[in-house]
Amino acid sequence: MCGFVGLVSPGKNEAEHARSAVAAALRCQRHRGPDESGTWQGDEVVWGFNRLSIIDVEHSHQPMPWGPPEEPGRYTILFNGEIYNYLELRAELTSKYGARFSTDGDTETIVAAYHYLGPAAVARLRGMFAFLIWDSQRKVVFGARDPFGIKPLYYAVGPNGVALSSEKKSVLALADTIGIRPALDRKALQHYLILQYVPEPESLHGDIRRIESGTSFTIRPGGKPVMERYFPATFRPRAVRGESDENRLYDEIAEALRDSVAKHMRADVTVGSFLSGGIDSTVIAALAKEHNPDLITFTTGFERSGFSEVDVAAESAAAIGVKHVVRTVTAQEMMDSLPLITWYLDDPVADPALVPLWFIAREARQHVKVVLSGEGADELFGGYTIYREPLSLAPFEKVPGALRKAMGKVSTKIPQGVRGKDLLRRGALTLEERYYGNARIFMDDQVRAVLKTYDPSVTHMDATAQAYRESANWDPVTRMQHVDLFTWLRGDILVKADKVTMANSLELRVPFLDPEVFKIASQIPSELKITKDTTKYALRKAIRDIIPSHVINRRKLGFPVPIRHWLKEEMHDWSLQIVAESQTDQYIDKAAVRRIIEEHRSNVQDHSRRIWALLVFMLWHGIFVEGRISPVVPEPHYPVKL
């Protein structure tokens, strides 16, 4: 787990300047790899790397040269992530092709696989990754990002070259070098206010984009990245007839999870696990305990009643038999830390849960260097409560289209807060119109009220259209899962997981997001994912003998953060101060923002998530656009608690 910077076609006359520019760009992502840092320069590229040593700690230094015996040093690779099947791949490459390796790590396994298998090698990698390989013979860069988008990869194309990096702030640092002047993208801002994150491949700087999940690419000197999607994430539900078929499916799910966790435990450093009160993190921790009897688990909560899973997590830890560490977060800590966390994020993400996650990651880093977590289970196995919506809206599907539209118009006449208003509104819409992921922050009229440059042609469907096209013939629940895989999961869940853990030089691994786990999850028929009584039905059945009984049927809480209360009380004056000091008047109607802050305080309407989204954007703007806010970024330092 690390961070890298790559510069393609910097120009031979600018070689020395380019190398020093890359070294400077590395410094602002020092937290991603505090163990060692280095740069390398080839004919057409400059590579830079910060390393967090996890596997083959004493070796596997990067940028790493590699080549077959007849062409030593032909390739040079930058790699961020972990390949969990690297031992099996090394053995295969050695036996079939006579591949030779000089380290015991996974990095040279990637480049060797590329040499012998070509671009198809990327589909053989089981792990989380973003990498760049320079082929000095063919004069081409080959790179890829993992199937689900666990590891980030930003890029920008300018007249003086292409910059790529694990963090956007490093690309910003190279803007002058490649000849671009990144400016705020108003379309991306509108998407952010709708979704609470900026959807891929956008970033809030229009000239800087993201390589999408499940995508490989090539870059030739003087050219732009040429993309190819290698992982379409296709769901193929299989027929399940009778109890024996069901039990076979549940056994396969359990076996896939057990194998994934076993491979995710591969490391030359200590591995711990996050543990909440839900089934996802609990099953991961229980399976990890099979490989590490001294496993330490970590959870976070709040002092406010009703907003903590600490007690349930502690009960689960006791049942599993692991040491458990708890970190309680206060409103004042959230306020004090938010500017620094926003700096780490690169782009605003208005998910309040990322702040307590940052604190527990900081605590965990004092005990371990790697943690496992349960992200991805909901998207793969049907865990979100909203996935049950097609059941409740099924009667509307039988209503003729014209009548459904009329029902939608009737819903607009019903006063806000009247029961049934939103059901009628959503029932009048098609799935494509109504569903765009788990976060629905600003409705159209609300965006129009706060955004000075509202564009009615910019909608959530910009982000979801491709996923809906690809899933046109699937059932509604599976289509919702597919949309979330390419929007919510990689735009919110995995961004916060990567950014706030790496901010603390902590590697986070997600065993649910494994190609082999997806392979079996993609075969679950809809009726075994969602029932009228529960979500993740098949997963619950599969792990019933693995996790404690008090967890198996718990209602999903979704890691609630008490900002609804805090924005009325402890955070009220703080939020008004952020609005007053922000220089976002050209984008945001600040009078409208102050109005919704006061409406929220007076219990007129719960605006907490909308207020939070605006505050995070204003802090982001103060850091990355105005330069008015300069969080003090600590040097990586980890005193270990014994």
As given in the structure block, the two tokens for residue 449 are 């009220």
181: DSSP letter: -
Amino acid type, 107: T
Q: Is omega for the bond preceding 10 within 30 degrees of 0, making it cis?
A: no
Distance of CA 411 to the CA centre of its chain: 35
- Please give the Cα distance from 89 to 78 (Å, whole number): 19
- Please choose, from the candidates 40, 41, 60, the residue with its C-alpha nearest in 3D space to the C-alpha of residue 49: 40
- Do the beta carbons of residue 50 and residue 2 sit within 8 Å? yes
Residue 514 assigned as binding residue: no
3-state class (DSSP) for residue 157: strand
- Is it true that the peptide bond before 201 is cis, omega within 30 degrees of 0? yes
Q: In what order do the strands lie in the sheet with 370-372?
A: 323-329, 296-302, 271-274, 370-372, 507-509
Residue type, 432: E
Residue 2 is a catalytic residue: yes
Q: How far apart are CA 224 and CA 220, in angstroms?
A: 7
Residue 158, marked binder:
no
How far apart (Å, rounded) are the C-alpha atoms in residues 158 and 205? 14
E strands within 467-530? 507-509
Gap between the Cα atoms of 370 and 491, Å rounded:
22
Residues forming beta bridges with residue 143, ordered by sequence position:
132, 217
Q: What does the DSSP 8-state code read for residue 414?
A: S
C-alpha of 365 from chain center: 20
Q: Would you state the structure tokens that stand for residue 209, as one six-digit string?
A: 């984009």
Largest CA distance in the chain: 76
List the one residue out of 278, 321, 268 whose CA is nearest residue 299.
278
User: Which residue stretches of 54-166 are H helix?
Assistant: 86-97, 107-117
Burial of 393 (0-12, 13-18, 19+ CB in 10 A): middle
260 is known to lie in a ligand binding site: no
Active-site residue identified among 1, 2, 18, 312: 2
* Binding residue numbers: 106, 373-374
Which residues are known to be catalytic? 2
* Binding residue numbers for ATP: 373-374
* Binding residue numbers for L-glutamine: 106
